[in-house]
Structure formats: structure tokens, C-alpha cells
Amino acid sequence: RLTQATRETVTLAVRVGVSHVLCVHQIESPRPARTAFRIGQRLPLHAGAGERVLLAFAPPEVVETVLIGELERYTANTPDVDELRRRLVSTRNVGITTSRSEYVPGALAVAIPVAVAGDVVCSLTVSGPADRCDAGWQARVKPMLVNAGRALEYLLREAPSERAADERSTRGPTG
């Protein structure tokens, strides 16, 4: 639904280890010009909106490991350590972040964390070509993204208890 509403690519990613993000699900924009990753693609933890969300809410030791290392520059907009520190604070405070051409030249992305039981389990990102994703687009997309994130958090929170209830009902009263 988020891809249909925004007409842009929606990506779900998880942090793997201390330096990468893994694209685990994606619905690509129906438009010919679009941004997209491959399912299973490993991405750097320090460049891009969805990636930064996962770094911002990672355990402190992961954040410090990334910040003390040499950050690879993918574009002229890939943040250096000082800029990344500032953006991480902002991301934690606001709960949403935007990137422009940090990893993919010409791409703009808006991302939020998705949490279950207080732990961020993934990022949800909407991305597209920066020339199409202007300030007006961003203003329209942010509330849609937040609502989709809340719906996903609800589904993730409820899914295990629903499965357990389904399993109990199929086993009958004696289990």
C-alpha cells in the first residue's frame, strides 16, 4: 500500500553485524526511473536513510565501532564521522531521517525505525529519484511512512501471539 500511495520504492532492511544492513524485502516503484536494491544485498551501515536509522538505534558499542572506523565515501554526500554523529543524534531525537545521494547518486530516501518491545528490529524506507522527491513529496510521504511503520510494528508484535493461539486451537483442549 505504501508503494501504491507514494509511487516510489519501499524497502525493509535489518542490521547484520556491526557494519552492514541487509535488504530483506522491497516493493519497487512502478515508474521506469526508480531506486532499488536487490533482496539480500548488503549495504553500508553509515550511508543512507534506512541504514542510518539502524545505526542510530543500534547498541552503543556498534555505533562507536562504526564511528571510530574509516567511513567509505560512496558519493560526495556520504557523511564523514562528524556529520554522521550529528545526523545520528537528530535521527534518534526525531525518529525519522532523510538522505540525499549518500549511497546512490541522485537518490532521495526517507526512513523510520520499526520497533518491537522497545527494540528496533528493522528500518522502513521510501526512496526515489531526488528530482522527483522534492520537499512537497517528502511532506506528504512522512506521515504515510510513520503510519505504515506503526502498522508493521503492530503486525510484528501481534504475529507470535496469534500464531500461538492458532496452534492451540488446532491441537484442541488437551494440546
pLDDT recorded at residue 43: 94
Longest Cα separation, the chain: 64
d(CA 19, CA 48): 13
d(CA 160, CA 21): 24
Each residue's pLDDT tens digit, 76-89: 999 999 999 999 99
Q: Are 23 and 41 in contact (CB under 8 A)?
A: yes
Low-confidence ranges of the chain (pLDDT < 70): 159-175
Closest to 53 in 3D by CA, of 107, 115, 131, 116: 115
